[in-house]
Amino acid sequence: MGDTEALGERLGTVAVPGTVLAFRGGLGAGKTVLSRGLARGLGISDQVTSPTYTLVNEYDGGRLPLYHIDCYRLGGPDEFDFLDARRYLYGRGVCAIEWSERVEGILPPDATVVELDVLTDDTRRVRVSGGLEELLR
C-alpha cells in the first residue's frame, strides 16, 4: 500500500482549489489509503479514516481543505444532492470521492478518475485519467 499512499501524496501536491478526484475500485482496493496520502500531500496531519458511515469527512489545516466523500451507501446522484454534496465539488478545496461511479452523472467533466484494481494482496494496478493526469507525468 506504500505506492498507493505515495500516489495520493503526489496528487495532493499538484491539486488546486476545486480539484475533484473520483476514486473507483472494489472493497479493499486502497481508496482510503489513497486519501491518506492525498491528505499528507496537502499538508493535513489529521488521521484520515473512511467516511463510509459519516458519508463526508472534512479536513482542514493543510494547503487546501480536503472533502473526503464515500458514496458506497448512496442510491445515486439524487441522494448525493440531498446531502448538498455538490458544494464540495465546486468548493475551495479538494474533493476525493470513493465509489464515485455511483454519482457519475454529476461529476465535473474535469474530474480526475483514479481506478484501483486488486491484482494480489500486495499489488494494485492504478489508472489515472482526466484532470490531473498530465501533471503526474
Prediction pTM value: 0.91
pLDDT tens across 32-45, in order? 999 999 999 999 99
Distance in Å from the first CA to the final CA of the chain: 20
pLDDT of residue 46: 92
Which of 71, 73, 72, 49 has the alpha carbon at shortest distance from 86? 71
Q: Which amino acid is at 80?
A: F
pLDDT of residue 133: 76
What is the CATH code for 1-96? Answer: 3.40.50.300
Ranges of the chain whose pLDDT falls below 50: none
pLDDT of residue 1: 57
